[in-house]
Chains A and B, each alone.
Chain A
């Protein structure tokens, strides 16, 4: 630490311009974008609108829908397993509720299923990596809930549905904003250390697209703090967890119900058959697919497994054409490219500034607007900085925060960020941060209803299948607001747990089958899809080019 050189020589000319305009800009508020300007900006510059980035799905419940190529690649792929090689006679785990995924949604679901009366040993959480390794831990800025006197769930509703381009399912939005207050109360009771003032009220900030200050935060480690408290409680309840055992296929029974899953022990490569009366998908997002080549803020295992498995059994997906690029991912140094620079930095007053030191967009427009504006600034107007590795970016003027809120604010409320950059010789209290949009969130996913049941295209619930968190679609419409994802995993994780608990009281599983995989393979043939690809991919492959060119299979 400390010997790292910080920004290279060639950046300093621009940084000095940023410093020169800072005093003037402190009094400047860039105007808000009009709805017409917004439409044009998105259409021209948002990656979702690039026709080369997408194609129409050729198979399955959403056949004909336009989705990103990387998503289509996985949805139009073969299963990982060959049903003829899997014996379903011997069941390794027989439980009431199987939860696939150990992030915020999975942990919430497990706890609420337990609170609702399902004994701990009748629940099983299967995780791909460690319990808790999920995007939840990396969420920084906050969680929304309308608890301040000048706020209300009604205003929260309007913010969510507006941010989502009015495409959200309104009943899901209602569930989100109402449950928000109950979730925060639950967290208080569990002992989550939210930032509070001397009276005990939460210190709340604005987020992009919010009309009130309602982001509750725990410094800039909000997701980490919530996740580790939930993890602690799951461990206290002694709910069994199988780590490093991702699901690779859902199981069905001869009555058409989802009946559990086939897991694979990543370390021993053996498959495990889990029979469950209810299965909850909580597998998170798809950042590691690097859509359109973007770097990502997501954790190592974010490969859309749940969507793939649900799609194969006929679940309906919504809004898969909509990808959230977080406007501010780190663009320098190369070691941390793509990593999240939380919206909270803008919430605390930092402005987005081009290489000339001038603002070009109001920092707290919704994410898709800001992301598009930055891309336009770098590639359309060529007013961005180009790094030694060819990455482009604009400045996020963080030193403004120290001026507006007092010296020490960054070290206190953006401790994680401060440390992250300090490790590479950059002091964000004195120097602006270089940022560029990064692949961040899967806005859409498996369609659910307010009971967190996964749905068929005709709206009927898929018996035995529930879903919660980033894997689902319909809550956020075409664009999620900051602070609503941490809320989503808790609200719908809870609902999934409660619904599953109710379901298992009367459910009974018939004969296990993988016939849906056989049917899928037939469908691929019928649609003329020729491919080697198999899905889910489980983990990305970052091995260097030389190694890949010389890799051989030696049977061990």
Chain B
């Protein structure tokens, strides 16, 4: 590790500060900032590696270490607080070509998934993916469930995936988990989950014009009528 050891003579403000290293360069930042806010504090105006800033979009995958600790840690920059001695880099992009498929032509089984992602069978159960996941998903177990055809179980296991890509970067079998999981979830949602009868009935009623007259009237009724209807409507408990 080559660290910028230069000491600045400028006085730091009176908050409690911690030292972080961004791609090897040393910075002092106020304690309690998230990694994302710390990067901006020290002057990065980010274009890559920022998205929702709230832990939903997976744009800010970050990898870091600490002194005298061989372990590699991972997390989302927008949700991880800086710690003294953090030595970090952001991974804004994971090269992974998404295969094109027509969901209408697929069958919801293991062989479909494996034919689109044959590298899935290379899984050696090393569990590196699970250890890297910032969403606490049992990634390896989900891969295993897919291999043996339990798509429904796998779809639920991987629901919280935000496609940050850390697992795929580290996977020695070069699996791109989040693409596999997206397919499995869609196969479940489309083919395995039951269709809603309520929705079908209501849609049929709509197409047959059951609401046309009332809506025609409502559209032209005007604010005083709407107000009356709104204030007198019954609210379901």
Contact = CB atoms under 8 A, between A and B. Distances in A.
Interface in A202-247: 202, 206, 211-213, 218-219, 221, 223-225, 228-229, 232-233, 235-236, 238, 244
A189 B211 contact: no
B41 A543 contact: yes
A129 interface: yes
B41 A154 contact: no
A161 B230 contact: yes
Interface in A251-300: 266-267, 297, 299-300
B43 A211 contact: no
B206 interface: yes
A191 B185 contact: yes
Contact of A153 (B41, B200, B215, B233): B215
B129 interface: no
Contact of B198 (A148, A166, A334, A546): A148
B50 A335 contact: no
Contact of A192 (B43, B57, B189): B189
Contact of A232 (B186, B211, B220): B186
B203 A297 contact: no
B196 A147 contact: yes
A147 B202 contact: yes
A190 interface: yes
B185 to A, nearest CB: 6
Interface string A375-398: 000000000000000000000000
Interface in B37-70: 37, 40-45, 47-48, 50-57, 59
A133 B59 CA distance: 8
Given A129-B59, A206-B236, A170 B218 contact: yes
Nearest to B60: A300
B52 A300 contact: yes
A44 interface: no
B56 A416 contact: yes
B79 interface: yes
Interface string B83-119: 0000000000000001011110000000000000000
A154 B40 contact: no
A185 B203 contact: yes
A199 B199 CA distance: 12
B218 A416 contact: no
B197 A420 contact: no
Given A158-B233, A162-B230, A228 B163 contact: yes
B174 interface: no
B202 A202 contact: no
Interface in B210-229: 211, 214-215, 218-221, 223, 226-227, 229
Contact of B56 (A221, A233, A539): A221
A423 interface: yes
Contact of B51 (A129, A158, A202, A551): A129
Contacts of B48: 244, 267
Interface stretch (B18-26, B138-146, B154-162): B154-162
Interface residues of B, number: 75
Nearest to A189: B190
Interface string B8-29: 0000010000000000000000
A150 B236 contact: yes
Contacts of B193: 193, 196, 200
B78 to A, nearest CB: 9
| Interface core residue of A150, A177, A232, A420 (most chain B CB under 10 Å) | A232
Given A174-B219, A236-B100, A299-B51, A199 B194 contact: yes
Chain A, interface size category, equals: 35 or more
Given A232-B186, A335-B34, A419-B160, A185 B199 contact: yes
B182 A419 contact: no
A161 B226 contact: yes
A420 B34 CA distance: 13
B228 to A, nearest CB: 10
Contacts of B40: 542-544
B187 interface: yes
B51 A300 contact: yes
Contacts of A146: 202
Given A138-B56, A416-B55, A266 B194 contact: no
A173 B41 CA distance: 44
A213 B236 contact: yes
Contact of B79 (A161, A191, A266, A335): A335
A340 B98 CA distance: 31
A336 interface: yes
B229 A188 contact: no
B22 to A, nearest CB: 13
B162 A266 contact: no
Contacts of B47: 129, 244, 266-267, 539
B147 interface: no
A185 B204 CA distance: 11
A221 B79 contact: no
A540 to B, nearest CB: 9
Given A158-B226, A199-B194, A174 B236 contact: no
Contact of B190 (A4, A138, A191, A196): A191
Contacts of A129: 47, 50-51, 59
Contact of A300 (B53, B215, B236): B53
| Interface core residue of A4, A218, A236, A266 (most chain B CB under 10 Å) | A236
Given A147-B196, A166-B227, A200-B194, A420 B55 contact: yes
Contacts of A202: 196, 198-199
A154 B160 contact: no
B57 A232 contact: no
Contacts of A546: 13
A154 B214 contact: yes
A539 B45 contact: yes
Q: Which 3 A-B pairs have the closest CB atoms?
A: A200-B194, A162-B230, A191-B186
29 contacts: A145-B199, A147-B199, A154-B215, A154-B218, A159-B230, A162-B229, A162-B231, A166-B223, A170-B220, A178-B206, A178-B215, A191-B185, A191-B187, A191-B188, A200-B194, A200-B197, A201-B198, A206-B236, A219-B160, A221-B159, A223-B56, A267-B47, A335-B32, A335-B79, A335-B81, A336-B79, A415-B159, A419-B135, A539-B47
Interface of B: 13, 32-34, 37, 40-45, 47-48, 50-57, 59, 79-81, 98, 100-103, 135-136, 155, 159-160, 162-163, 182-183, 185-191, 193-203, 206, 211, 214-215, 218-221, 223, 226-227, 229-231, 233-236
Given A149-B201, A235-B98, 6 more contacts: A151-B202, A162-B227, A162-B229, A193-B155, A339-B54, A419-B160
